[in-house]
Structure 1
């Protein structure tokens, strides 16, 4: 093992030690029309990339305001880190913008139920975690 390998292994252990939240990271499936209620409801995920521990933290305090149709949305950017050792699904499908991260558990109860929309995914052989840039839309 090289010095770089040892440093990366130590960094990855430390990065995972900070992962106190639990998430589900997936690609939404097609919506389904419920004939009983007359409502469209989310379908099952098309691809689940990861379920498990993560670190979810705001990227900045600033909030962006955008106009979507006739509504004004507030966008807050977050950084999500999952274990570097996480593998892609057996289909080989890679995450992309528009995929979703749901926070399912956290010591900070204000994060539970937070839905984040993926903006980008960062890959690197020398990273200590797999990092995802996502935004909350409210």
Structure 2
């Protein structure tokens, strides 16, 4: 959780019936990431800048600027997520569990005046992680 009373975080936890290696690939391989999250030029190296790109909508150009903050293969991935005045951090934590992997996703840094972004992230990550399940069940070896 955030230490500051002025920011909030979206937290979603899911268990997948796939090993951490497989979940990790879906989080860190650009082509797989594009299947469940967004088009991207992600490169899993600390300090690398990259972008997620979606279809532009009325008040958004469809670009999210990011930078890789932390990578611990098959355990932890973190990057910044900056778009439309929102400066936040996404953190994925993978924990092996019997029969699969427990995935914890936290996006932190939502200010109290960013209610729409906060609600959008709550909805968006539920949708994205649902797509991740489909990608894991399908094409990921």
- TM-score when normalising by structure 2: 0.28
**Larger RCO (CA under 8 A, 6+ residues apart):** 2
Highest Rg: 1 or 2?
A: 1
Between structures 1 and 2, the one with greater helix share: 2
Between structures 1 and 2, the one with greater strand share: 1
